[in-house]
Amino acid sequence: MTKRVIRVERNSEKSDYQTNYREKQKLTSFNCVIESLAAWFPELTEYLKGDVMKFYFLALSTLLIICVGCALDSPDITKSNFASDIVNHGVFDKGEFHAPPAAMMRRPGPMVDGPGPGVMNVVASRTIPSFSAKTSQVRFLGPAGMSIGWMIDTGYAENQLVAPGRYNFNQGATYRLKLANIPGEGREGVNLYPTLQVYPTHPRTDAYLSHNSIPVELTHEDLDQVENSNFVTKVIYLPDAKHQELAIADVETLVSTRLDPGVDAVAEADRRGTIMCVLRIGNMDLEMPGAPGNLQAGNGSGNIQTVSYDGDQGQYAPPKPISRIASGPSGVPFPTIVGNGGIPGQPAYNPISGVNMQSWGMPTTGTPIGLPGPPHLPLGGPAGLKSHTIRNQTRVDIGKPVDHFLLDVKHEPGYRLPHPVKHMEYKESHPVHSPGEVSQPAWNLP
């Protein structure tokens, strides 16, 4: 008991010492401020030395921190959830409303299907926009005079277009092109075999693609890079509206050779806007005679006969995609985890869990992200995945359903009419006669 008392006394002494030390520090710093203010406001200085003003400055500093924190709108601090909530909602509620993008409003949300968000009736959901662009019109701007062909089932259809020219490519597919007759010194006889990846229509690009063509141009700089064995990737995308200052929607092109080393042109374009097509160019010759793996070589048995089409002779054939991009009902591509180049003429193999491979949780697939897991022994044994949890941490404030609805209506100016009669007073006065004063009509006189 005694020890406990002593310990308490020591702690209190230590606490008193620390408190006094802190008070001295605060007073010292506060006195510095007071002394600096004394030069300008000598009369005010006397009052500021009071203890009351310390709390005023403390309160004002707190208020300043809160105001600055509320007004912060820097995108860098939105990386954390807490900071994002502060920025989006603030300490003080600004009363703003937020809703998903228009395309998402057409469907209620994940795991919930059915009619729209309550404002759309059956008539609206019955009609599906039929104007969505199914093809993208690619306009080959140049170099002028260049012939454009493409791969078909049996080889290459050559000279199908001459730049400047345009063609409608089916969306969601990658095509192998053949560029020939490229103008320029030293480029005689040079053929290039780029791939053209045409992206599916996105709600942001649908209006543009149904009214505009996608400009694709090979510049001399691009051709020089290819000749020097560099791989050139050109990404044509529609910038987000928030990144455009002009009143007109224009596409932009990102070229891999103009970006800093290590910067992925596709990823960068995807960050800036919505990609519409990607052109990848190298100097690989796909028609080298005798080389294995190309169509001219065949399989050595001589059984494969290539049939070529030449546009100069009026022979045209539509391009055959070398791979396709899976897309959902709204044209938004499914999330692709792994993609192979595929075999020419065959679609690329993009393993997606539950789509073209086993769903997650099945014995042969151990992970829910689309990657096959290790084989289970014995076959048919329990799945390796024991738990798969998805937590939706979206902040939702959509209110409760209305149980009693009150509608106030008012007409200005109001009605004013004579009020209906609710009381009438009827009075009759009759002469009063005494007996004998009764008068009779003359005809009744006795």
Tell me: does residue 132 bind other proteins (CB under 8 A).
Answer: yes
> In the window 43-72, what residues touch other proteins (CB under 8 A)?
43-44, 47, 56, 60, 63-64, 67-68, 70-71
And the tokens for 444?
Answer: 């009744």
Residue at token pair 């106030």:
408
Tell me: does residue 332 bind other proteins (CB under 8 A).
Answer: no
Side-by-side strand order, sheet with 135-142: 165-170, 135-142, 214-217
Q: Of the candidates 4, 75, 82, 95, which one interacts with other proteins according to CB under 8 A?
A: 95
* Separation CA 336–CA 353 (nearest Å): 10
- Contact segment (CB under 8 A) with other proteins among 122-130, 179-187, 262-270, 335-343 equals 122-130
Tell me: does residue 78 bind other proteins (CB under 8 A).
Answer: no
Tell me: does residue 121 bind other proteins (CB under 8 A).
Answer: yes
Helix (H, G, I), strand (E, B) or coil at 314: coil
Tell me: does residue 215 bind other proteins (CB under 8 A).
Answer: yes
Residue type, 7: R
Binding residue count for other proteins, defined by CB under 8 A: 66
The smaller minimum CB distance to other proteins, of residues 193 and 208, is found at 208
- At a CB cut-off of 8 Å and minimum separation 6, what does 176 contact? 150, 151, 193, 194, 195, 196, 286, 319, 322, 344
Q: Of the candidates 1, 39, 99, 406, which one interacts with other proteins according to CB under 8 A?
A: 99
> Are the CB atoms for 49 and 32 separated by under 8 Å?
no
What x/- string results for residues 154 through 173 when contact with other proteins is judged by CB under 8 A? ------------xxx-----
Residue type, 81: N
What x/- string results for residues 244 through 263 when contact with other proteins is judged by CB under 8 A? xxxxxxxx------------
Q: What minimum distance in Å lies between the beta carbon of 364 and other proteins?
A: 40
DSSP sequence for 136-156: EEEEEEESTT-EEEEEETTEE
The smaller minimum CB distance to other proteins, of residues 123 and 409, is found at 123
State the alpha helices, DSSP H only, in 72-135. 81-89, 102-105, 122-126
Q: Convert 311-324 to b/e letters by CB count within 10 Å (16 or more is b).
A: beeeeebebbbbbb
> Are the CB atoms for 267 and 259 separated by under 8 Å?
no
Q: Of the candidates 105, 190, 266, 352, which one interacts with other proteins according to CB under 8 A?
A: 105
Give Cα separations from 248 to 237, 253, 273, 413 (angstroms). Answer: 15, 16, 15, 47
Q: Of the candidates 8, 33, 58, 120, which one interacts with other proteins according to CB under 8 A?
A: 120
Tell me: does residue 296 bind other proteins (CB under 8 A).
Answer: no
- Contact segment (CB under 8 A) with other proteins among 148-156, 178-186, 238-246, 277-285 equals 238-246
Q: Of the candidates 183, 203, 347, 363, which one interacts with other proteins according to CB under 8 A?
A: 203
Instruction: Tell me whether residue 385 is exposed, middle or buried, using C-beta atoms within 10 angstroms of its C-beta: 0 to 12, 13 to 18, 19 or more.
Output: middle
* Separation CA 111–CA 103 (nearest Å): 16
Q: Of the candidates 112, 123, 377, 398, which one interacts with other proteins according to CB under 8 A?
A: 123
Instruction: Tell me whether residue 199 is exposed, middle or buried, using C-beta atoms within 10 angstroms of its C-beta: 0 to 12, 13 to 18, 19 or more.
Output: buried
Tell me: does residue 204 bind other proteins (CB under 8 A).
Answer: yes
The smaller minimum CB distance to other proteins, of residues 327 and 364, is found at 327
Q: Of the candidates 40, 97, 415, 443, which one interacts with other proteins according to CB under 8 A?
A: 97
Q: What minimum distance in Å lies between the beta carbon of 319 and other proteins?
A: 10
> In the window 382-421, what residues touch other proteins (CB under 8 A)?
none
Q: Which of 186, 160, 179 is nearest to 285 (CA)?
A: 179
* Separation CA 168–CA 166 (nearest Å): 7
Q: What minimum distance in Å lies between the beta carbon of 191 and other proteins?
A: 23
Tell me: does residue 119 bind other proteins (CB under 8 A).
Answer: yes
The smaller minimum CB distance to other proteins, of residues 4 and 98, is found at 98
Q: Is the dihedral of CA 367, 369, 374, 379 positive or negative?
A: positive
Q: Of the candidates 5, 112, 241, 424, which one interacts with other proteins according to CB under 8 A?
A: 241
The smaller minimum CB distance to other proteins, of residues 50 and 372, is found at 50
* Separation CA 161–CA 213 (nearest Å): 15
And the tokens for 63?
Answer: 């208020």
Interaction site with other proteins (CB under 8 A)? 43-44, 47, 56, 60, 63-64, 67-68, 70-71, 73, 94-99, 102-103, 105, 119-121, 123-125, 127, 129-135, 137, 139, 166-168, 201, 203-213, 215, 241-251, 316, 318
